[in-house]
Amino acid sequence: MAKHKIGILTSGGDCPGLNATIRGVAKATYEAFGEDKVEIIGIHDGYHGLIHGDYKAMEPSDFSGILTTGGTILGTKRTPYKMMQIIEDDKVDKVKEMKDTYKNLKLDCLFTLGGNGTHKTANMLSEEGLHVIGLPKTIDNDIFGTDVTFGFHTAVDIGTEVIDRIHTTANSHSRIMVIEIMGNKAGWLTLYSGLAGGADIILIPEIPFDIAKVAKACQRRADAGKAFSIIAVAEGAFDIEEAKLKKKERAKARAERGEVTATARIAKEVQARTGLETRTVIPGHILRGGSPSAYDRILATQFGAHAARLLKQEKFGYTVAMVDGNITENKLVDVAMKTKFVEENDMMVLTAKDIGISFGN
Ligand code: F6P
């Protein structure tokens, strides 16, 4: 019998849990068909490798010892979906090249590990006739149709530790600390780490804030004898004035003012309005670094095993998901062009409000 030949790639921003998921897919596929009946091709740097034929045949030993390691053994790149169908100066027809690589390799299936952009291209390739199975990765937790993505909870743990550590120095110096957490479109990571770390104010893109109310919340705490305040702000958060502008206009206005980061804008205004000393902290890519948490190792393994199950059932054009706590799958076409945002009545937002956390609105 011919071998089952599968390709696997990781695309978009990296996160803890990618290697654990690669391992889960590989081990479960070997188990399902027998190690000698499977050939796994590791595609380098995401779709870039698929376009340019950059890959290597993997051995079972390549998947050992990677459960705990951060990053991705396959490498990753951002290859924006909106550029996929555009032939640029390099004259490369990316869609054709990806299909050619898949066909030349005689793949039976391609596993794509990635976030929203990755899922859009995965769906496009599936519609082009390739056998594709997606796996939902991102610290942003914003993939539609799944309760959770792998990488998210590790980033929440890191964000929480950042906020914990800031508490002690904020307290010692009686300062307002503005901490910027990754998340350009969705505020899940800021919301969860803000709640777990005990932030006093949480600002997310889904809930435009009024800077006067943010300053007032800090002042109220100071008046009550609480010398410091912690503001957790998502990198993509904006105020009610900026909410009236289009994304590009917002970026232009910020660049003109020399206030590109959310922390810079908020810290300056809060200090000016309250007279309280203010500092900013941006953990940035630290949130995506290092070993996955136990939760993410388990989730990655569950997701990987389910992806292998889908392969066995020849169920292509799907992406793995967790729905109401169960590991299942969604059709790529149903989730690929959507984003999961925080709703104003999300349970976590309501819980935060119940204990007096301000969203500045
Ligand atoms: O999508 C994950 C993410 O970390 C976002 O939260 C962040 O806005 C973006 O990636 C940063 O991208 P890059 O690593 O390309 O700077």
User: pLDDT, tens digit, for every residue of 24-37?
Assistant: 999 999 999 999 99
What is the CB neighbour count within 10 angstroms for residue 212?
Answer: 13
Residue 168 CA: distances (Å) to CA of 164, 191, 228, 287: 7, 21, 10, 20
Whether 183 is in the pocket of ligand 1, judged by its Cβ within 6 Å, is: yes
> What top-level class would CATH report for the domain 4-150+292-335?
alpha beta
Residue 132 has pLDDT above 70, yes or no: yes
Residue 317 has pLDDT above 70, yes or no: yes
The predicted pLDDT at position 136 comes to: 98
Domain boundaries, the chain: 4-150+292-335, 155-288
Q: Which of 108, 140, 142, 200 is catalytic?
A: 140
Residue 203 has pLDDT above 70, yes or no: yes
Euclidean distance between CA atoms 231 and 215, whole angstroms: 10
CATH domain 155-288 topology: Rossmann fold (3.40.50)
Q: Are 287 and 155 in contact (CB under 8 A)?
A: yes
CA 182 – ligand 1 centroid, Å? 7
Whether 140 is in the pocket of ligand 1, judged by its Cβ within 6 Å, is: yes
Contacts of 160 (CB under 8 A, 6+ apart): 193, 196, 197
Single-letter amino acid code for the residue at 102: Y
CA angle in degrees (0–180, nearest 5) for 36-39-44: 150
- Would you put residue 300 in left (φ > 0), alpha (ψ -120 to 50) or beta? alpha
DSSP state string for 67-80 = TT--S-TT------
> Which of 45, 77, 139 is the best mutation target for the ligand 1 pocket, counting ligand atoms within 8 Å of the beta carbon and taking the most?
139
User: Residue of the nearest CA to atom 14 in ligand 1?
Assistant: 13
Euclidean distance between CA atoms 100 and 249, whole angstroms: 40
Whether 39 is in the pocket of ligand 1, judged by its Cβ within 6 Å, is: no
Does 4-150+292-335 match 155-288 in CATH topology?
Answer: yes
Taking the CA atoms of the chain, what radius of gyration do you get in angstroms? Answer: 22
Whether 134 is in the pocket of ligand 1, judged by its Cβ within 6 Å, is: no
What percent of the chain is predicted at pLDDT more than 70?
A: 100
Which atom of ligand 1 is nearest the CA belonging to 140? 6
User: Residue of the nearest CA to atom 12 in ligand 1?
Assistant: 13
The predicted pLDDT at position 1 comes to: 67
Digit-coded pLDDT (tens) for 236-264: 999 999 999 999 999 999 999 888 898 99
Dihedrals φ, ψ of 199, to 5°?
Answer: -65, 150
- pLDDT grade for 90, boundaries at 50, 70 and 90: confident
Please state, rounded to an integer, the average pLDDT across all residues of the chain: 97
Pairing mode of beta strands 38-43, 55-58: antiparallel
- Our answer to whether residue 140 is catalytic in this structure is yes
Q: Are 45 and 324 in contact (CB under 8 A)?
A: no
Digit-coded pLDDT (tens) for 302-313: 999 999 999 999
Whether 187 is in the pocket of ligand 1, judged by its Cβ within 6 Å, is: no
Dihedrals φ, ψ of 333, to 5°?
Answer: -60, -25
pTM: 0.97
Q: Closest Cα to residue 200, out of 237, 172, 173, 175? A: 175
